């Protein structure tokens, strides 16, 4: 029987038996009435991990980011982000639609921007200019191939934001991958950011869900925004239980995903049909192919391997908890045979 391997994203995972067990046995209530104790437990737990006051459990990372942008801006404002930012590229134009805010894009290195790059892009007080009110960072950077900020990179940006009275939001869809790589402590993040968005359905293996973290007043307002977006949900504790389980059991093991990605990157760099492999820092491998990416993907598909192209000659592999050692071997064997 042929193995099938799905490396399109770390969102393709299914709940493990332990996670399903936690979901079945969750204590739930109507969360719109504030009566779901498992949702409250997840929100408090995630907030404590990152040194923040409060949390809000939402169905997606797009929703947590969009709510944060709404909380930290007024219509006619402008936010600053790297040109690869998920909030700008992959959230359907939500910055303009939901918040009435314009976006100033920077050209970072693999999506990583610095205080020096941000400073000159902050608009002066002038009737012609939109009011700059927010900076959004992404860690790890998805489009950067899983590149990471360290807290040492973030500190000067946070200081600049404080001096200039800007809010700082972190799109931390893969923040635990970044922490695994850098060795920084999650709890220290709360000192630097006004808002943090954390996905439970990426590398952590929960079926659904993200948490927005901020101070209590912001989260109170965020709850209102979530409601207006149709995100007030009822017995969401069944899903929150999966998130709690993920935080307890699936963070430590991310280093396995990183090791698998590193092995794939190393093997790819030896192949004649691969022209370039971007540095592998976490669980994302980006590589360039001599042939068009679509024809390589078609060959991989014959061997049961799914991946995606991110450019005409670029392919992305993302490792995750349903990518097992025997599948790693299978993929390497196929890559060598092409």
Ligand X SMILES: *Cc1c(COP(=O)(O)O)cnc(C)c1O
For residues 41 and 136, give the distance between their C-alpha atoms in angstroms, rounded to a whole number: 27
CB of 246: closest distance to ligand X in angstroms? Answer: 14
Q: Is 319 in the site for ligand X (CB under 6 A)?
A: no
Q: Is 231 in the site for ligand X (CB under 6 A)?
A: no
CB of 334: closest distance to ligand X in angstroms? Answer: 26
CB of 63: closest distance to ligand X in angstroms? Answer: 7
For residues 85 and 23, give the distance between their C-alpha atoms in angstroms, rounded to a whole number: 33
CB of 100: closest distance to ligand X in angstroms? Answer: 21
| DSSP per-residue string spanning 302-319 | HTTEE-EEEETTEEEEE-
The answer to whether 143 touches 137, Cβ cutoff 8 Å, is: no
Of 61 and 205, nearer to ligand X (C-beta) is 61
For residues 162 and 160, give the distance between their C-alpha atoms in angstroms, rounded to a whole number: 5
Question: Which residue blocks in the chain are alpha helix, DSSP H?
Answer: 17-24, 37-49, 61-72, 86-89, 94-99, 115-118, 151-163, 175-182, 216-228, 237-249, 254-269, 293-302, 325-337
CB of 202: closest distance to ligand X in angstroms? Answer: 6
* 39-98 positions binding ligand X, by CB under 6 A: 60-62, 65, 86
Q: Which of 47, 199, 247, 286 binds ligand X (CB under 6 A)?
A: 199
For 285, residues 6+ apart whose C-beta sits below 8 A from its C-beta are 145, 261, 264, 265, 268, 277, 278, 316, 317, 318, 319
Q: Which of 154, 173, 200, 277 binds ligand X (CB under 6 A)?
A: 173
Q: Is 327 in the site for ligand X (CB under 6 A)?
A: no
Please give the residue whose beta carbon sits closest to ligand X in the complex: 61
For residues 87 and 68, give the distance between their C-alpha atoms in angstroms, rounded to a whole number: 11
Of 147 and 327, nearer to ligand X (C-beta) is 147
Residue 94 CA neighbour count, 13 Å, CB half: 19
Phi, psi for residue 74 in degrees, rounded to 5: -120, 155
For 331, residues 6+ apart whose C-beta sits below 8 A from its C-beta are 5, 7, 264, 305
Of 175 and 296, nearer to ligand X (C-beta) is 175
Which of 292, 263, 265 has the alpha carbon at shortest distance from 279?
265
CB of 264: closest distance to ligand X in angstroms? Answer: 19
- The distance from CA 328 to its chain's CA centroid, rounded to whole angstroms, is 24
Q: Which of 6, 31, 77, 138 binds ligand X (CB under 6 A)?
A: 138
CB of 57: closest distance to ligand X in angstroms? Answer: 13
Of 173 and 204, nearer to ligand X (C-beta) is 173
Of 222 and 296, nearer to ligand X (C-beta) is 222
Q: Which of 36, 82, 171, 184 binds ligand X (CB under 6 A)?
A: 171
Q: Is 103 in the site for ligand X (CB under 6 A)?
A: no
CB of 240: closest distance to ligand X in angstroms? Answer: 15
Of 84 and 327, nearer to ligand X (C-beta) is 84
Beta bridge partners of 195: 169
What is the binding site for ligand X (CB under 6 A)? Answer: 60-62, 65, 86, 138, 142, 171, 173, 199, 202, 210
């Amino acid at each position: 029987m042929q193995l099938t391997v799905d490396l399109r994203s770390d969102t393709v995972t299914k709940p493990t038996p332990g996670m399903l067990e936690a979901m079945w046995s969750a204590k739930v209530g109507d969360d719109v009435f504030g009566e779901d104790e498992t949702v409250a437990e997840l929100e408090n737990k995630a907030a404590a991990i990152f040194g923040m006051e409060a949390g809000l459990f939402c169905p997606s990372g797009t929703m947590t980011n969009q709510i944060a942008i709404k909380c930290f801006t007024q219509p006619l404002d402008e936010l600053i982000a790297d040109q690869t930012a998920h909030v700008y590229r992959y959230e359907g134009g939500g910055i303009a639609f939901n918040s009435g805010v314009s976006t100033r894009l920077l050209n970072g290195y693999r999506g990583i921007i610095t205080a020096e790059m941000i400073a000159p892009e902050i608009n002066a007080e002038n009737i012609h200019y939109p009011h700059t009110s927010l900076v959004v960072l992404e860690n790890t950077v998805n489009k950067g191939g899983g590149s990471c900020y360290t807290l040492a990179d973030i500190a000067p940006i946070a200081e600049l934001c404080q001096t200039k009275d800007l809010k700082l939001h972190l799109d931390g869809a893969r923040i635990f991958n970044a922490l695994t790589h850098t060795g920084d402590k999650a709890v220290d993040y709360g000192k630097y950011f006004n808002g943090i968005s954390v996905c439970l359905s990426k590398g952590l293996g929960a079926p659904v869900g993200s948490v927005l973290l901020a101070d209590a007043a912001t989260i109170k307002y965020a709850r209102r925004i979530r409601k207006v977006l149709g995100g007030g949900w009822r017995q969401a504790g069944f899903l929150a239980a999966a998130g709690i389980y993920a935080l307890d059991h699936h963070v430590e093991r991310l280093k396995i995903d990183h090791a698998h990605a590193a092995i794939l990157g190393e093997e790819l760099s030896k192949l004649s049909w691969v022209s370039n492999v971007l540095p592998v820092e976490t669980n994302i491998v980006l590589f360039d192919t001599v042939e068009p990416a679509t024809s390589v993907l078609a060959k991989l598909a014959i061997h049961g391997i799914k991946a995606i192209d991110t450019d005409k000659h670029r392919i992305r592999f993302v490792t995750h908890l349903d990518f097992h050692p025997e599948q790693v071997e299978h993929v390497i064997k196929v890559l060598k045979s092409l």
